[in-house]
Amino acid sequence: MKNTAAYTNLAGWFEYLNDDCDYENWSQYLILKLKEFPLQEGLDVGCGGGWFTRAFQKAGYQMTGMDVSPEMLDVAQRNALQSGIRSEYVLGDIAAKKPQKRFDFITAINDCFNYIPKDKLKKALKNVASALKVGGVFIFDVSTPRKFEKKIANTVSVDDRDDVTYMSFGKVEQDVATLDVTLFVKGKEGAYTRLDETHTQYIYTEQELLDALAENGFTVLSVEGHMGEERLDSDRWCFVAKRGATK
Tell me if domain 11-143+205-243 and domain 147-202 are identical in fold: no
Q: What is the pLDDT of residue 190?
A: 85
Query: 173: how many CB neighbours lie within 10 A of its CB?
Result: 8
Residue 226 contacts residue 208 (beta carbons within 8 Å): no
SS (H, E, C) 129-152: HHCEEEEEEEEEEEECHHHHHHHH
The dihedrals phi and psi of 18, each to the nearest 5 degrees, come to -110, 35
Averaged pLDDT for residues 130-155? 97
CATH of domain 11-143+205-243: 3.40.50.150
Q: Which CATH architecture group holds 147-202?
A: Single Sheet (2.20)
How far apart CA 176 and CA 148 sit, in angstroms, is 9
pLDDT in tens, 51-84: 999 999 999 999 999 999 999 999 999 999 999 9
Q: Domain residue spans in the chain?
A: 11-143+205-243, 147-202
Q: What is the pLDDT of residue 158?
A: 94
Q: Determine how β-strand 62-67 pairs with β-strand 132-143.
A: unpaired
Averaged pLDDT for residues 81-105? 95
Query: 158: how many CB neighbours lie within 10 A of its CB?
Result: 9
Q: What is the pLDDT of residue 4?
A: 67
Q: What is the pLDDT of residue 156?
A: 96
